Structure 1
Protein backbone atom coordinates (compact mmCIF):
# COMPACT_ATOMS: atom_id res chain seq x y z
CA UNK A 1 0.00 0.00 0.00
CA UNK A 2 2.78 2.45 0.87
CA UNK A 3 4.56 1.78 -2.44
CA UNK A 4 1.55 2.81 -4.53
CA UNK A 5 1.79 6.42 -5.82
CA UNK A 6 -0.28 8.91 -3.87
CA UNK A 7 -1.83 12.17 -5.04
CA UNK A 8 1.41 14.12 -4.49
CA UNK A 9 3.32 11.74 -6.77
CA UNK A 10 0.46 11.92 -9.26
CA UNK A 11 0.72 15.73 -9.28
CA UNK A 12 4.47 15.57 -9.78
CA UNK A 13 4.20 13.18 -12.70
CA UNK A 14 1.38 15.17 -14.34
CA UNK A 15 3.16 18.51 -14.01
CA UNK A 16 6.43 17.13 -15.35
CA UNK A 17 4.77 15.49 -18.35
CA UNK A 18 2.59 18.56 -18.94
CA UNK A 19 5.55 20.95 -18.90
CA UNK A 20 7.40 18.69 -21.32
CA UNK A 21 4.35 18.59 -23.61
CA UNK A 22 4.03 14.80 -23.48
CA UNK A 23 0.27 14.51 -24.06
CA UNK A 24 0.07 10.77 -24.77
CA UNK A 25 2.10 9.84 -21.71
CA UNK A 26 0.08 12.22 -19.54
CA UNK A 27 -3.20 10.62 -20.58
CA UNK A 28 -1.66 7.16 -20.11
CA UNK A 29 -0.80 8.06 -16.50
CA UNK A 30 -4.34 9.34 -15.91
CA UNK A 31 -5.80 6.11 -17.28
CA UNK A 32 -3.48 3.99 -15.13
CA UNK A 33 -4.27 5.92 -11.96
CA UNK A 34 -8.03 5.52 -12.56
CA UNK A 35 -7.90 1.73 -12.95
CA UNK A 36 -8.92 -0.49 -10.10
CA UNK A 37 -6.22 -3.05 -9.43
CA UNK A 38 -7.04 -6.75 -9.46
CA UNK A 39 -4.53 -7.47 -6.70
CA UNK A 40 -5.94 -7.04 -3.21
CA UNK A 41 -3.89 -5.09 -0.68
CA UNK A 42 -3.74 -5.89 3.00
CA UNK A 43 -5.20 -2.62 4.17
CA UNK A 44 -5.73 -3.41 7.83
CA UNK A 45 -7.41 -0.44 9.51
CA UNK A 46 -7.78 1.35 6.16
CA UNK A 47 -10.49 -0.92 4.76
CA UNK A 48 -11.96 1.79 2.56
CA UNK A 49 -8.57 2.64 1.02
CA UNK A 50 -8.30 2.07 -2.69
CA UNK A 51 -5.43 2.80 -5.07
CA UNK A 52 -7.69 4.53 -7.59
CA UNK A 53 -7.16 8.28 -8.08
CA UNK A 54 -9.10 10.81 -10.14
CA UNK A 55 -7.59 13.90 -11.75
CA UNK A 56 -7.96 17.11 -9.77
CA UNK A 57 -7.35 20.78 -10.53
CA UNK A 58 -3.55 20.40 -10.50
CA UNK A 59 -3.65 17.52 -12.99
CA UNK A 60 -6.16 19.25 -15.25
CA UNK A 61 -4.02 22.40 -15.24
CA UNK A 62 -0.98 20.32 -16.27
CA UNK A 63 -3.02 18.97 -19.19
CA UNK A 64 -4.05 22.49 -20.20
CA UNK A 65 -0.41 23.60 -20.20
CA UNK A 66 0.54 20.61 -22.36
CA UNK A 67 -2.37 21.39 -24.70
CA UNK A 68 -1.13 24.94 -25.04
CA UNK A 69 2.42 23.82 -25.85
CA UNK A 70 1.26 21.29 -28.45
CA UNK A 71 -1.64 23.41 -29.78
CA UNK A 72 -3.99 20.49 -29.05
CA UNK A 73 -7.16 22.53 -28.65
CA UNK A 74 -9.58 19.60 -28.79
CA UNK A 75 -8.03 18.21 -25.60
CA UNK A 76 -8.11 21.66 -24.01
CA UNK A 77 -11.87 21.81 -24.63
CA UNK A 78 -12.21 18.34 -23.10
CA UNK A 79 -10.35 19.51 -19.97
CA UNK A 80 -12.47 22.65 -19.71
CA UNK A 81 -15.61 20.50 -19.93
CA UNK A 82 -14.28 18.20 -17.19
CA UNK A 83 -13.58 21.24 -15.00
CA UNK A 84 -17.06 22.60 -15.66
CA UNK A 85 -18.63 19.23 -14.77
CA UNK A 86 -16.72 19.23 -11.46
CA UNK A 87 -17.52 22.92 -10.83
CA UNK A 88 -13.83 23.89 -10.84
CA UNK A 89 -12.08 26.84 -12.47
CA UNK A 90 -8.70 26.42 -14.21
CA UNK A 91 -5.58 28.02 -12.83
CA UNK A 92 -3.68 30.35 -15.13
CA UNK A 93 -1.98 28.59 -18.04
CA UNK A 94 1.46 29.30 -19.43
CA UNK A 95 1.17 31.07 -22.76
CA UNK A 96 3.85 31.15 -25.43
Structure 2
Protein backbone atom coordinates (compact mmCIF):
# COMPACT_ATOMS: atom_id res chain seq x y z
CA UNK A 1 0.00 0.00 0.00
CA UNK A 2 1.38 3.38 -1.02
CA UNK A 3 0.94 6.41 1.16
CA UNK A 4 1.09 9.97 -0.08
CA UNK A 5 3.41 12.40 1.61
CA UNK A 6 2.03 15.72 2.69
CA UNK A 7 3.12 18.57 0.42
CA UNK A 8 4.74 21.42 2.31
CA UNK A 9 5.10 24.74 0.48
CA UNK A 10 7.84 25.85 2.89
CA UNK A 11 10.22 23.36 1.28
CA UNK A 12 9.99 25.23 -2.04
CA UNK A 13 10.28 28.83 -0.85
CA UNK A 14 13.98 29.49 -1.30
CA UNK A 15 14.33 33.14 -2.32
CA UNK A 16 12.69 36.40 -1.29
CA UNK A 17 11.19 36.52 -4.79
CA UNK A 18 9.60 33.09 -4.25
CA UNK A 19 8.20 34.24 -0.93
CA UNK A 20 6.89 37.53 -2.32
CA UNK A 21 5.16 35.77 -5.22
CA UNK A 22 3.64 33.20 -2.87
CA UNK A 23 2.36 35.89 -0.49
CA UNK A 24 0.99 37.97 -3.40
CA UNK A 25 -0.94 34.96 -4.67
CA UNK A 26 -2.40 34.43 -1.19
CA UNK A 27 -3.38 38.10 -0.91
CA UNK A 28 -5.05 37.97 -4.33
CA UNK A 29 -7.11 35.00 -3.15
CA UNK A 30 -8.76 37.31 -0.63
CA UNK A 31 -9.30 34.65 2.04
CA UNK A 32 -7.62 35.70 5.28
CA UNK A 33 -7.02 32.08 6.31
CA UNK A 34 -5.06 31.56 3.07
CA UNK A 35 -2.95 34.63 3.84
CA UNK A 36 -2.27 33.41 7.40
CA UNK A 37 -1.32 29.96 6.10
CA UNK A 38 0.99 31.48 3.45
CA UNK A 39 2.71 33.60 6.11
CA UNK A 40 3.12 30.43 8.18
CA UNK A 41 4.64 28.56 5.23
CA UNK A 42 7.10 31.41 4.63
CA UNK A 43 7.89 31.56 8.36
CA UNK A 44 8.75 27.85 8.42
CA UNK A 45 10.91 28.30 5.31
CA UNK A 46 12.89 31.12 6.92
CA UNK A 47 13.01 29.56 10.39
CA UNK A 48 10.47 30.09 13.13
CA UNK A 49 13.10 30.59 15.85
CA UNK A 50 14.82 33.40 13.97
CA UNK A 51 11.46 34.98 13.12
CA UNK A 52 10.51 34.86 16.79
CA UNK A 53 13.69 36.74 17.70
CA UNK A 54 13.17 39.35 14.99
CA UNK A 55 9.50 40.01 15.77
CA UNK A 56 9.50 39.61 19.55
CA UNK A 57 6.63 37.12 19.24
CA UNK A 58 6.99 33.69 20.82
CA UNK A 59 7.39 30.67 18.54
CA UNK A 60 4.16 29.21 19.90
CA UNK A 61 2.39 32.51 19.25
CA UNK A 62 3.68 32.56 15.69
CA UNK A 63 2.64 28.97 15.03
CA UNK A 64 -0.84 29.71 16.36
CA UNK A 65 -1.31 33.04 14.57
CA UNK A 66 0.13 31.83 11.25
CA UNK A 67 -1.79 28.58 11.02
CA UNK A 68 -4.66 28.09 8.55
CA UNK A 69 -7.05 28.55 11.49
CA UNK A 70 -5.08 31.46 12.96
CA UNK A 71 -6.28 35.03 13.02
CA UNK A 72 -3.16 37.20 13.27
CA UNK A 73 -3.54 40.83 14.23
CA UNK A 74 -2.46 43.42 11.69
CA UNK A 75 0.43 44.27 14.01
CA UNK A 76 1.61 40.65 13.85
CA UNK A 77 1.28 40.61 10.06
CA UNK A 78 3.32 43.83 9.78
CA UNK A 79 6.08 42.52 12.05
CA UNK A 80 6.27 39.20 10.21
CA UNK A 81 6.28 40.73 6.73
CA UNK A 82 8.99 43.21 7.75
CA UNK A 83 11.10 40.40 9.23
CA UNK A 84 10.79 38.55 5.90
CA UNK A 85 12.38 41.55 4.18
CA UNK A 86 9.13 42.17 2.31
CA UNK A 87 6.54 44.96 2.37
CA UNK A 88 2.84 45.14 1.80
CA UNK A 89 1.86 47.49 -1.01
CA UNK A 90 -1.49 48.85 -2.09
CA UNK A 91 -2.48 49.24 -5.71
CA UNK A 92 -5.70 49.97 -7.56
CA UNK A 93 -7.71 46.96 -8.60
TM over 0.5: no
Q: Which entry has the higher C-alpha Rg, 1 or 2?
A: 1
Query: Comparing both structures, which one devotes a greater share of its residues to helix?
Result: 2
